[in-house]
A and B are shown apart, each in its own frame.
Chain A
């Protein structure tokens, strides 16, 4: 029934699981009382979120004068954090959509959590454009709505408007894709629950029965949504990069930005997936579903995209020199050797040099090194955006207006607050929904379970194939 699996493939589900074991293991976290570590993490996350909301309220009350932006540096922490969060969101769609099209079975272990992460990251990202004007009650001005001023429409030639459409579409499509995948698993939880939880999951599961026709349509829908989400995820960070690339600022005005931003986004997204998954698999006891093989696969993606980003950095430097254009040359000299030299070197060390450690298989399969590296990459990618934004603006055409930017406590507070929002939502998600896609893991059991393939399979793979060819 299942297509033969190459003997080099390593099992993705360990522990000789039956279908029922999978249901038990993956639904258990939503059914037990929260562990002490969960409660501590939740309290810390809510506290950070509250601080962030306070800083946000401060901004709205006193205006964006409470930020340290100035005439020269008009974009600072807000846009840096916006791009950072959007980038983090990219891994979820990559795992769920692109790896579905490529038929990569290891996606089933991490796709659910990664998609949830995408949605929460986009929520955090969206806060910055929504509030950076200091007047969020005028946000509806961004949409083309019939108004009494003509009507005067929005500027459809502006990349900032494209960005609004890209982010809103991305959020909506990711949410629909994620929820449609969740419906059968909510039904599994519903059929095990009693009392109030049964009522809750009855609503969430939309009356799912598991009918063969519904499954067929569900798979058709997933496939087409994956096909739509694949160009979408590439378009989102491309359009984010247009915010910079279509301007005439030296250091921003480059055609390399779209592919370089997309690679960087996938890079940082996978790093955040690693950070979360390493903690999640430990706390929720999911080591048999999110195995070292999953972690190694993601480390390979990190190595590849990190190297692409490195090539992009070097290409930028080369082109700046080769262009013979003085302002461009100065912009890049300033990045590496100017007042913000430390952020450039932080970016280079974290994003380009440190992932090279993953050429060594031993390190790719080490949990501690992976965790440490994922933090490095998150820091490095934050620095990248800061380098592109603040460093470039700090030294503009007119030396008399050169400036320096350091964030105020309000800006730092909002940033920390978004981390709080992100982790609060993620922790709630781990309580409410199965963190690993139950039905999809069952679907790959017979081609990826360790009792069917790999060294510990009943009747090793080699002898079985000889046996079959003898017929």
Chain B
């Protein structure tokens, strides 16, 4: 975690629809939002915040392909090269029999790979504790946060007043 602290100026809204309208207003005023925090996934946020679509599914595909190749390649190598054995009169390279394990390892690699990627790119994991701006953000408050260092505080105050933020606070994190 970074050592330097920063001062955050944030407003809390009581409803996700107010939050969306506020973000649209902030976009119109060209305010530089640091981050938005919500207690549950609010649909439509990615659009107003111009968040790009997550690329996690690409990671899933890559890890899944890796699992596929690992399983199928390993079973092929074992059955054809390393120790060829005849089971039930079938060919050494009995592809249909390899399908179940190939499928399972594809899913396993994709799932583990995606979950690890998710926590890595989000900077989350066991032992991580991120600063909490307000303890009600995981309950029922919707938060827009600005960094004070590069913003005009009066403009932000006017913005929060105009968009109907229930509370406004400053916190150093």
Q: Quick check: is B28 within 8 A (CB to CB) of the other chain?
A: no
Q: Is the CB of B40 within 8 A of A443?
A: yes
Q: Is the CB of B38 within 8 A of A210?
A: yes
**Could you mark each residue 194-224 of chain A with 1 if its beta carbon is under 8 Å from any beta carbon of chain B, else 0?**
0000000011001111111111111111001
Q: A209-B37, A440-B40 are in contact. Are A191 and B135 (CB under 8 A)?
A: yes
Q: Is the CB of B39 within 8 A of A225?
A: no
Q: Is the CB of A443 within 8 A of B41?
A: yes
- A214 to B121 Cα, complex, angstroms: 9
Q: Quick check: is B46 within 8 A (CB to CB) of the other chain?
A: yes
Kindly report which residue of chain A lies nearest to residue B143, judged by CB atoms.
A210
Q: State which size class the interface on B falls in.
A: 35 or more
* Partner-contacting stretch, out of B81-89, B153-161, B163-171: B81-89
- A219 to B106 Cα, complex, angstroms: 21
- A168 to B42 Cα, complex, angstroms: 34
Q: Chain A's interface: helix, strand, loop or mixed, by majority?
A: helix
Instruction: List B contacts of A242 (CB < 8 A).
Output: 100
- Cross-interface CB contact of B101 among A162, A180, A192, A221, cutoff 8 Å: A162
Instruction: List A contacts of B143 (CB < 8 A).
Output: 210
- A23 to B136 Cα, complex, angstroms: 10
Instruction: List B contacts of A202 (CB < 8 A).
Output: 129
- A221 to B114 Cα, complex, angstroms: 7
**B98-144, CB < 8 A from A:** 98, 100-101, 103-105, 107-108, 110-112, 114-115, 118-119, 121-130, 132-133, 135-140, 143
A200 to B: closest C-beta gap in Å: 12
**Could you mark each residue 147-167 of chain A with 1 if its beta carbon is under 8 Å from any beta carbon of chain B, else 0?**
000111101111101100110
Q: Is the CB of B60 within 8 A of A214?
A: no
- A23 to B46 Cα, complex, angstroms: 25
Q: Quick check: is A1 within 8 A (CB to CB) of the other chain?
A: yes
Q: Is the CB of B140 within 8 A of A1?
A: no
Instruction: List A contacts of B135 (CB < 8 A).
Output: 191-192
Instruction: List A contacts of B115 (CB < 8 A).
Output: 176, 180, 221, 225
Q: Quick check: is A144 within 8 A (CB to CB) of the other chain?
A: yes
Q: Quick check: is A173 within 8 A (CB to CB) of the other chain?
A: yes
Kindly report which residue of chain A lies nearest to residue B43, judged by CB atoms.
A1
**Could you mark each residue 326-370 of chain A with 1 if its beta carbon is under 8 Å from any beta carbon of chain B, else 0?**
000000000000000000000000000000000000000000000
Q: Is the CB of B56 within 8 A of A156?
A: no
Q: A165-B105, A188-B138 are in contact. Are A19 and B39 (CB under 8 A)?
A: yes
Q: Is the CB of A231 within 8 A of B107?
A: yes
Instruction: List B contacts of A158 (CB < 8 A).
Output: 87
Kindly report which residue of chain B lies nearest to residue A179, judged by CB atoms.
B115
- A228 to B107 Cα, complex, angstroms: 6
Instruction: List A contacts of B87 (CB < 8 A).
Output: 155, 157-158
Q: Quick check: is B78 within 8 A (CB to CB) of the other chain?
A: yes
- Cross-interface CB contact of A207 among B83, B112, B128, cutoff 8 Å: B128
Q: Is the CB of A166 within 8 A of B38?
A: no
**B36-84, CB < 8 A from A:** 36-46, 49, 51, 53-54, 56-57, 60, 64, 74-75, 78-79, 82-83
Instruction: List B contacts of A1 (CB < 8 A).
Output: 16-17, 20, 43-44
Given contacts A150-B83, A216-B46, 20 further A-B contacts (CB under 8 A): A162-B104, A166-B100, A166-B104, A169-B107, A184-B138, A206-B125, A207-B125, A207-B130, A211-B122, A212-B51, A214-B122, A214-B124, A215-B45, A217-B54, A220-B54, A221-B56, A221-B114, A439-B39, A439-B40, A443-B41
A-B contact pairs, 14 of them (CB 8 A): A1-B44, A144-B78, A156-B101, A169-B105, A172-B111, A191-B139, A206-B125, A207-B124, A212-B46, A224-B56, A224-B60, A224-B114, A228-B60, A229-B107
Interface residues of B (CB under 8 A from A): 16-17, 20, 35-46, 49, 51, 53-54, 56-57, 60, 64, 74-75, 78-79, 82-83, 85, 87-88, 90, 94, 97-98, 100-101, 103-105, 107-108, 110-112, 114-115, 118-119, 121-130, 132-133, 135-140, 143
